Amino acid sequence: MKKEQIFKLRKKYLGNKNSGWELDNETGALVIYSINAIYYDGKYYSMETGEAIQFEPYVSKVREHYGHKELQVPGTGVIVYRKNEQNQTEILLQLRKDFNLYGLPGGGIELGQTYEECAVEELFQETAYLANPQDMKLLKIYAGPKHITQYPSGDIVFHSVAVYKIDRSLCTKTECQYDTNETKKIVWATIQEIRKLLEEKLVFPNNIPILEDIVDEYFK
């Protein structure tokens, strides 16, 4: 969004309220009163400066003050699926670098993100597959005692995971390299292969209930 558009909206809305939001019908932008910002096309712009707002990484900033203690962290997981030449359903899995275990691409939501935007960003970062937020279909929300993780760093996370699914045909495999700090490799696994990974305890613990549901319910 151009600065002149933001400043036009500033004259119209700045100072109207202390909290909440309002839709500007002319531009389709959301006016976010609590942070004096305009949300447009997936970005936040300051009504005061006209510049895009860059929020600091949320969890890492909280950890600076809170240490390794328990945090409730909302996030996403993404099921990318396709049919192979034998007409078997395959799921895209990530071999995680931190645990050396398999799981779904996904991660924690950052300030200002929608869950769909988080799912798209994490999918791209960890697999180099690009998708559109509107193509993400919410499958189920996971939380509770089966979704508590202590990471090698010592950080303890209570996960709340919104799991989305998307057909491979709606994704683009880019030429970019996935983030090798998080992903050792990506693989396509059939339902039977996922069942074997579960039996051999080669699945990231937080993802075990999700992959069990995939095997038992979602893609029979």
Residue 169 has pLDDT above 90, yes or no: yes
- Mean pLDDT, residues 39-43: 93
Q: Each residue of 20-37: pLDDT tens digit?
A: 999 999 999 999 999 999
Show the beta-strand stretches assigned E in the chain: 21-23, 30-32, 37-40, 43-46, 71-83, 89-96, 102-103, 106-108, 129-130, 137-142, 148-150, 156-167, 172-173, 183-190
CA distances from 17 to 12, 22, 29, 202 (A): 12, 10, 16, 52
Per-residue model confidence (pLDDT) at position 220: 61
Which amino acid is it at 111? L
Please report, rounded to a whole number, the percentage of residues in the chain having pLDDT higher than 70.
100
**Distance between CA atoms of residues 123 and 47, nearest Å:** 31
- Mean pLDDT, residues 104-125: 96
- Tell me the two tokens of residue 17: 């309220």
Give all domains of the chain, ordered by start, each with its CATH number: 3-46 (no CATH), 58-218 (3.90.79.10)
Residue 158 has pLDDT above 90, yes or no: yes
Residue 193 has pLDDT above 80, yes or no: yes
Per-residue model confidence (pLDDT) at position 165: 97
Q: Each residue of 118-157: pLDDT tens digit?
A: 999 999 999 999 999 999 999 999 999 999 999 999 999 9
**Distance between CA atoms of residues 75 and 151, nearest Å:** 16
Q: How confident is the model at residue 208 (pLDDT cuts 50, 70, 90)?
A: very high
Average model confidence (pLDDT) across the chain:
94
Residue 191 has pLDDT above 70, yes or no: yes
Residue 218 has pLDDT above 80, yes or no: no
Kindly give the pairing relationship between strand 71-83 and strand 156-167: parallel
- Tell me the two tokens of residue 38: 């305009």
Residue 80 has pLDDT above 80, yes or no: yes
**Distance between CA atoms of residues 149 and 160, nearest Å:** 11
Residue 219 has pLDDT above 80, yes or no: no
- Tell me the two tokens of residue 83: 């049919």
Classify residue 124 as exposed, middle or buried by CB count within 10 Å of its CB (0-12, 13-18, 19+). Answer: buried
- Mean pLDDT, residues 91-111: 96
Q: How confident is the model at residue 56 (pLDDT cuts 50, 70, 90)?
A: confident
